[in-house]
A and B are shown apart, each in its own frame.
Chain A
Amino acid sequence: MVAYFLRRILWLIPVLFTVSLITFIIMRSAPGGPWDTDAERRQVDAATLKSLEAYYGLDKPMWRQFVAYVFVDKNSVTREWVCGLICGNLGPSYRQHGRTVQSILFDPPPKESFWQSRFGYSLRLGLTALSFAVIFGIPIGVVAALKQNTLWDYIGLFIATSGISVPSFVLAIFLIIIFGSWLGWIDIIVDSWREIKYWIMPAMVLGFGTMAFTARLTRSAMLEVMRQDYVRTARAKGLAERVVVFRHMLKNALIPVVTILGPALAALVTGSFIIETMFSFPGMGGAYVQAIRQRDYSMIMGTTVIYALLVAVANLSVDLAYVLIDPRIRLEE
């Protein structure tokens, strides 16, 4: 068991290494350097360019740059050893001068808590969306299963199917136009993200797909559990229906739901960049899209690696959670 856990955790290392290698190669093969792509920006003269490239190590061969990016390298100007990705150093942003990628993503504004950082905002949005998904998804799934093949079931299935297949940004467009622009129920222009009411729309839109998925998963798990012998036994010995549903059915039916919570959160945090852009949300995804539009290569690269790390850890957590929660699963050693 411990060996299995260790093996799975160690497997993260080659995965992340490959992800950063692929990202590095693709980003470095982009034509043009970080200083000469924008025509409207101040152009750098040859001498400055040379010293800038020396400072950032861009004059070295590719493999050396990659080693510097991931591991350590000596800066040829300051003569200091600089640790790379393995120390959590994602390098300087090419567009936001004087800031490193990790400080843009993780450092809160002065005198604020961690939750006010870009990552903190995205994490909070993800958690809110996940709560919405669970609070609505599980009851929909339970009701649909208990009333299988009735109108309730069909309504639930329709919500689930459309929520899973229609992408969240398309849904967001519908909701923003209907509720924001036509009915005027929700302000599209946000004054401050400190007010809870502005969080409702983005969290709902972001969590809708997860809610649909949770509902479908709960429904199919419930349908399976409902046919088990122990449920029949519980009914036969005269337990109240409420007890049968909550203690006997739900407790077992929720195992698959609980295990997807981790990856669902990761998917919500890493998949929120479109929703964040739509609502001008000050999170990590917004910064990512801004970096894409500005061609801030080091920022794009760093954020991609962070996203990949989150997704990989979350996927790992499903398998581990399954083993821990479900006693029926025994790994062969």
Chain B
Amino acid sequence: MAVRNDNKVAELDVFRPGRSLGAEAWARLLRNKAAVAGLVIISMFAIMAIFAGLVAPENPLQINDGKRFLPPPFFKGSTNIQSDPKFLLGTDSLGRDVLSRVIYGSRVSMVVGFIPTLIILLLGTFIGMVSGYAGGRLDNVLMRLTDVIYAFPDLLFFIIVMVALRESFIGRLMNGLVLLFAALAIVNWVGVARLIRGQVLSLKQKEFVEAARCIGATDSRIMFRHILPNSLGPLIVSAAFTMPGLIITEAILGYLGVGLPPSTDPTDIFITSWGALMLDGQSAINAQPFLLLSPAICVALIVLAFTFLGDGLRDALDPRMRGTQ
């Protein structure tokens, strides 16, 4: 060990395969057990949502007369009703299988978590970049706009939008899903815009931007090829924390009875949501607590999974930030 073969050292240095920043971050993420667990749980819910028709043991719309509020086989309810082994989590007020309904309910939560987040990221990034890069009066106007939206209590905004516009034209599109997406996106782009604006303001002073400008790069090239890739880390982290917030919001709206109305049409993709299921379950807390409990557990699980993934992503993408939050 004392005498080293110089050729070998050189060989090691030269032939170490280069790894991109993304690959480095990915490797760091995979070393974080909690983040991997979160990722696995989210993937499982996503697969369950996509293949709900195959995963669900029963038809979620099948009404079984005389089998109302059956407790699950493993649980003895206070009413001593004989459970049916066919229904693993019991039945609801119309004798429909709770497990299948919860599985179908994951579709709404997944879609509400992902699609508005995409819109929020696109809109927020664009406005934040323009505001930070242009500066001056445009920046001032856009930032005052974000201040006002920030001041509006967001849950109240969603509630009044869903209450007032549910019967309008846009409220009827895709069973209210379009309206929900729009409401969620209108409020939430603000956080992303502020984040990106801050990034742009600090990055545009950096030497590499100056260098790019020196060799004659256009503004849009500097913005999208130089500044944006360097802001991706915080953007990904904020996306991971936006999604659980949206899922919770949808559940709250459903629970208040102003979310997506449950559908009885078998051709519908989105039959019910976890929030709507919890609203159903509230009336039978003693006889059939699993109608309330199962969607609540799902919400808690997916929200924790996103939190762990978000924490892991933050540590992986910016190792200097580790443990400061």
Give the B-binding residues of A (Cβ under 8 A). Answer: 11, 14-15, 18-19, 22-23, 26-27, 29-32, 161-162, 164-167, 169-171, 173-174, 176-177, 180-182, 188, 220, 270-271, 273-274, 277-278, 289, 292-293, 295, 297, 300-301, 304, 307-308, 311-312, 315
Contact = CB atoms under 8 A, between A and B. Distances in A.
Given A181-B285, A292-B257, A173 B293 contact: yes
A29 B160 contact: no
15 contacts: A19-B151, A22-B157, A26-B164, A166-B303, A167-B248, A167-B299, A177-B292, A181-B78, A182-B289, A292-B256, A292-B258, A301-B160, A307-B153, A308-B156, A311-B153
B307 A169 contact: no
Contacts of B44: none
B255 interface: yes
A315 B168 contact: no
Contacts of B299: 166-167, 170
Interface residues of B, number: 42
Given A177-B285, A308-B153, A165 B165 contact: no
B300 A166 contact: yes
B252 interface: yes
A307 B156 contact: yes
B308 to A, nearest CB: 8
Contacts of A270: 153, 156
Given A165-B307, A297-B164, A300-B159, 9 more contacts: A18-B148, A18-B151, A29-B168, A167-B299, A177-B289, A181-B286, A188-B285, A270-B153, A308-B152
A162 B148 CA distance: 30
B167 A31 contact: yes
B318 interface: no
Interface in B13-31: none
B141 interface: no
A274 B258 contact: no
A167 B303 contact: yes
Nearest to B299: A170
Nearest to B156: A304
Nearest to A180: B285
Interface in B212-249: 244, 248
Interface of B: 78, 147-148, 151-153, 155-157, 159-161, 163-165, 167-168, 244, 248, 251-252, 255-258, 278, 282, 285-286, 289, 292-293, 296, 299-300, 303-304, 306-307, 311, 324-325
A22 B164 CA distance: 12
Given A167-B248, A167-B252, A308-B156, A177 B167 contact: no
Pick the 10 closest A-B CB pairs, nearest first: A30-B164, A165-B307, A173-B296, A15-B151, A18-B148, A167-B248, A170-B296, A166-B300, A177-B289, A304-B156
Contacts of B167: 30-32
Given A173-B296, A308-B151, A181 B255 contact: no
A312 B151 contact: yes
Contacts of B163: 30, 292, 295, 300
A181 B289 contact: yes
A22, A173, A277, A307: residue with the most chain B Cβ atoms closer than 10 Å: A173
A66 to B, nearest CB: 15
B257 A169 contact: no
A181 B306 CA distance: 30
Nearest to B247: A167
B305 to A, nearest CB: 9
B151 A165 contact: no
A323 to B, nearest CB: 19
B147, B151, B251, B325: residue with the most chain A Cβ atoms closer than 10 Å: B151
Contacts of A177: 285, 289, 292-293
Contacts of B289: 177, 181-182
A295 B161 CA distance: 12
Contacts of A173: 278, 292-293, 296
Contacts of A169: 251-252, 255
Nearest to B258: A292
Contact of A176 (B159, B255, B285): B285
Contacts of A164: 307
Contact of A174 (B161, B164, B296): B296
Nearest to B303: A165
A308 B325 CA distance: 29
Contacts of A167: 248, 251-252, 299, 303
